[in-house]
Amino acid sequence: MKALNLPEAIDTARKAADIGAAIAMRKRESAEELNVQSKGKADFVTDVDHMAQAAIIEIIRTRYPDHRFLAEEEGADAFGDPASPYRWIIDPLDGTTPYIHGSNEFGTIIALQKNEETILGAITIPVKDERFWSAKGQGAFFNGKRISSLRATQSLDDAIICANLGRHAPSYDLMSFRCGSLQNTGCAATMIAEILKGHNDGLLFDAGPHLWDTAAGCLMIEEASGKSRTELLDPHDPRCKVRCVASTPPIFKELCKLLWE
């Protein structure tokens, strides 16, 4: 198998993320009705999800026909060589529920893993014209500029935390959860972006999001000097929900205690 050219792969991820986000914007700006279907309680899929995912996969497969895929919507698992060490992880429309309701909290997330380790990621948030990307060992970037630092909050008491605890997560006593503010926009892409822009301090996800929500952003936060930890609820099923913490270093251990101790 041909060795991966990392700059070329980063370029592919960024272009694919831009295409997915552009499809969402074109649909929003058109007069066409949005086709919405329910996948379960408060879990929706639209024609935009399907169109964006198909376009993203076509772009990636043109350059990497042997690579595998893990994507939010069905069908992607059939592509590529099962023996390939490379797996693209795709959320074509992150924040589907906010998107349906006319909110600006949506975007496209793409990551690439080698032997289950994330090596690059790209996020495009179209309404805000924001683009984030990162590669293992090469830093994280926001609209072309390297992210040199995150927030310097030293205590969880003063921290702003983004949280998605899921509908089936363990019972949390949020009244006693010590932090300055607990937020949930319904979109992992924009929550990760707020951390990378230095507006928030960390994220806490439990039994809600999936790898396609978290893989790219966790790499970006690590490459911007932060820390992260992600675990599949079922280690044998990459499509299952995840438990994830990513934050600035001073509050990382305490956030992890909330989920793992």
| 1 part of a folded domain | no
| 135 part of a folded domain | yes
Same domain for 124 and 26? yes
Number of other residues whose CB lies within 10 A of the CB of residue 129: 9
CATH number at residue 139: 3.30.540.10
Asked whether residue 177 carries a pLDDT value surpassing 70, the answer given is no
Q: Extract the tokens encoding 91.
A: 């959320």
Residue-range definition of the domain harbouring residue 204? 156-260
Mean pLDDT of 142-165: 92
Mean pLDDT of 213-237: 97
Q: What is the pTM of this model?
A: 0.94
The CA distance from 96 to 103, in Å, is 10
Dump pLDDT digits (tens) for 86-99: 999 999 999 999 99
How many domains does the structure of the chain reveal?
2
Which residue among 146, 170, 205 closes a domain?
146
Band (pLDDT 50/70/90 cuts) for residue 182 is confident
Q: Which helix (H) or strand (E) holds 110?
A: strand 107-114
Mean pLDDT, rounded, of the chain: 91
| 78 part of a folded domain | yes
Q: What is the pLDDT of residue 175?
A: 41
Mean pLDDT of 13-33: 93
